[in-house]
Structure 1
Amino acid sequence: MRSQPNMELPEDFWIPIPLDTNNITSLSPFLVPQDHLGNTATFYGLAAFMLFVFIVGTGINILTIACTVQHKKLRSHLNYILVNLAVANLLVSVVGSFTAFCSFCNRYFIFGPTACKIEGFVATLGGMVSLWSLAVVAFERWLVICKPMGSFIFKPDHALVCCAFTWVFALIASGPPLVGWSRYIPEGLQCSCGPDWYTTNNKYNNESYVIFLFGFCFAIPLATILFCYSQLLYTLKIAVKAQADSVSTQKAEREVTRMVVIMVIGFLVCWVPYASFALWVVNNRGQTFDLRLATVPSCFSKASAVYNPFIYVLLNKQFRSCMMKMVGMGGGDDEESSSSQSVTEVSKVGPA
């Protein structure tokens, strides 16, 4: 689907269809249902998915923050980064997912152009903090376990500095559309907002912004994650060979390998569809595409508010035990003790 060739593009949205009409305002995604883009079942199905992301993502991320506030033993340098990730996920679920849910139910963006810019900025900001937080987690694991800096100790103060940097980087990435480099407009089925990677408007320089986002907020974090986790797995395999008779070391190696695979897959599922589709559109101007397919990557990226805590928090035995206690489901000290022992074993595999 392409934008209207003989009409001036509006400032606040993009008409993604070649319709026989001269009144593009009558099709505004801020005024009327976008039934010409998809059937009712598609809109309601996506609304249900966004409602799930909103409820589960909001609940689990609030619980993560509350657990850390209540339990001092959770206030380690790694868990500070996980809380930073939870705050970013909360922004995405509360603002991005809830707004998308309401709009999909009405089949158009009901909140208006200004709210679209706000929602696009906040969701992008939360997504970028999330991306960089995942890279920081990988970097922290590399420093602690592989010990590339020898006796250097990664402390809570270092974690707080890293968390601050994720917000600085996220503002650098999400701020430009507010000041004229690209813009935030309804995307896909026009029920959620994001950067304009559809149009070739020289006024906004959209292509250069999309390329910047791809490099700065996807390629660099992904390269960091792949490098750090590959080094981690290599270090663990060396340790297993050196301690072939150690059952605990072999168990630690299997657990960490499983966690690394899940982490990388979760990252790729959340962000590869969005990044690759945006890059494809930029490099294939004039090609037709189904806007329903353009909506799926956006929903996947918002669903990171659920994926991330499940991978990084609920698979953390100590966090899981504290959460179970908070919701009245018990959680024994044995599990916490087992978690501490596992962490100790993994930390010892790095070179002295």
Structure 2
Amino acid sequence: MRLNRGEELPEHFWIPITLDTNNITSLSPFLVPQDHLGGPGVFYPLAVFMFFLFVVGTFINTLTIACTAKYKKLRSHLNYILVNLAVANLIVSCVGSFTACISFAARYFLLGPLACKIEGFAATLGGMVSLWSLAVIAFERWLVICKPLGNFVFKPDHAIACCFFTWVFALFASLPPLFGWSRYIPEGLQCSCGPDWYTTNNKYNNESYVMFLFGFCFAVPFATIVFCYSQLLITLKLAAKAQAESASTQKAEKEVTRMVVVMVLGFLVCWLPYASFAVWVVNNRGQQFDLRLATIPSCFSKASTVYNPVIYILLNKQFRSCMMSMLGMGGGEEESSTTSSVTEVSKVGPA
């Protein structure tokens, strides 16, 4: 696909997969199957994958919210942000994954332009809340475990403020395309919608919006996560060194180190493909790329509704135990978690 700078495009447009033309195809993604972009062997497996994300993502995140409501021991202020993450994931799975599922099954976005805007906004809003929630989780753990503010106590009001912060920032990032700064359009195989990052229509200032998202909604949260977790690891290593003869301390350090690596990798798997591909397109106007390739970043971001709960919630022993108990599989008595054990270990570290 080749796009020229300054090229005017209609309000609802679609781009052919042909790589040597600048013409707009007459095959609307809102009216007819996009079989020129791929055969059934491409669309139907993606429909199955999106159905899996919808079912599993909805189940895990609903269960997280239900468990927190049922078990009082889970309603600690340090778990508020995990519930906040679950709510954001639920929006993406129920709106983004479900809509993409039926669209991939039909091989076009059959719900129409208005639904495209709604789906694009909801998926972006939920995704941004999820992204900033991951950064806030890292920030919370840095405050609680590393104690950079000395005797500062992280209270429920602080946790609620952090959750409010994620929604304000997410709205600040997801609302502009509804008011003319970029727009929500079909992307990739034209069966899901997101911000316009691959056209050059100057009317919408797409390039500046993409760079805004990259800096404000990827680079800043990622830098926050890397800084907070690196400081956490330093604190743990000092604590482990001070308690070199304690097997439990050494075990806790190894567990948390492994957990930190998984958390950072999970963030990168979720957002790096989307951010890097969008920035590449913006900075390489006129270069050829396959629209089918543009579907991959969207799939990775939607898959975060499943693997983020696995990383942050199911690997939390307290949450996992309560979930098993709620499902009638035993458990419910185990109180410890990796985070709590780390907190105990860090007491011998720097205050």
Bucket of the pairwise TM-score, normalised by the shorter protein: over 0.9
Is 1:90 aligned to 2:94, yes or no?
no
| Structure-2 residue corresponding to 1:348 | 347
Cα RMSD, aligned residues only = 2.1
Matched, 1:324 2:348: no
Post-superposition shift, 1:96?
0.2
Distance between the aligned counterparts of 2:263 and 2:247, measured in 1?
A: 24
Quick one: structure 1 residues 349 and 76, their matched pair in 2 at CA, closer, same or farther if it must change by over 3 Å? farther
Q: What's the CA shift string for 1:233-284, capped at 9, x where partnerless?
A: 0111111111111112111111110110110011111110010000000000
**Deviation of the 1:343 alpha carbon:** 4.9
1:350, distance to aligned residue in structure 2 (A): 3.8
Partner of 1:239: 239
Partner residue of 2:133? 133
Amino acid at match of 1:207: E
Provide the residue aligned with 2:212 in structure 1. Answer: 212
**Counterpart residue identity of residue 38, structure 2:** G
CA distance in 2, matches of 1:22, 1:176: 27
Partner of 1:278: 278
Any unmatched runs of 5+ in structure 2?
A: none
CA contact (8 A) 1:239 1:349 kept: yes
Flag the 1:338–1:131 CA change in 2: closer, same or farther, 3 A. closer
The corresponding residue for 1:113 is: 113
State the SS of the aligned residue for 2:55: helix
* CA shift in 2, pair 1:341/1:278, >3 Å: closer
Q: How far, CA to CA, are the matches of 2:133 and 2:228 in structure 1?
A: 14
Separation (CA, whole Å) in 1 of partners of 2:345 and 2:293: 42
Relative distance call for 1:346 and 1:20 in structure 2 (3 A) is closer
- Report the alpha carbon displacement of residue 17 of structure 1 after superposing the two structures with TM: 4.0
Displacement of 1:18 in angstroms is 4.8
Partner of residue 184, structure 1: 184
Name the % identity.
81
Are residues 1:54 and 2:54 paired?
yes
The Cα of 1:336 is off from its aligned counterpart by: 2.4
Deviates more, 1:255-264 or 1:239-248: 239-248
CA contact (8 A) 2:181 2:209 kept: yes
Aligned match of 1:224: 224
Q: Distance in 2 between matches of 1:138 and 1:208?
A: 28
CA deviations over 1:92-142 (Å, ceiling 9, x no partner): 000000000000000000100000000000000000000000000000000
C-alpha distance in 2 between matches for 1:195 and 1:6 = 18
> Which residue pairs with 1:10 in the alignment?
10
**Which deviations, in whole Å up to 9, do the C-alpha atoms of 1:178-226 show, x marking residues without a partner?**
0000000000000000000011111000000000000000000000000
Distance in structure 1 (CA, Å) of the matches to 2:338 and 2:242: 23
Contact 1:132–1:221, Cα closer than 8 Å, also in 2 = yes
> Counterpart of 1:259 in structure 2: which amino acid?
M
Structure 1 gaps of 5+ residues are none
Instruction: Write the distance in 1 (CA, Å) between the matches of 2:100 and 2:259.
Output: 31
Q: In the alignment, which residue of structure 2 is the partner of 1:302? A: 302
| 1:336 aligned partner, one-letter code | E
**SS of corresponding position for 2:193:** strand
Contact 1:188 1:291 in 2 (8 A): yes
SS at match of 1:289: coil
**What count of residue pairs does the alignment treat as equivalent?**
351
Q: TM-score, normalised by structure 2?
A: 0.95
Distance 1:274 1:203, change over 3 A: same
Q: Deviations over 1:163-189 (max 9, x none)?
A: 000000000000000000000000000
Residue 149 of structure 1 corresponds to: 149
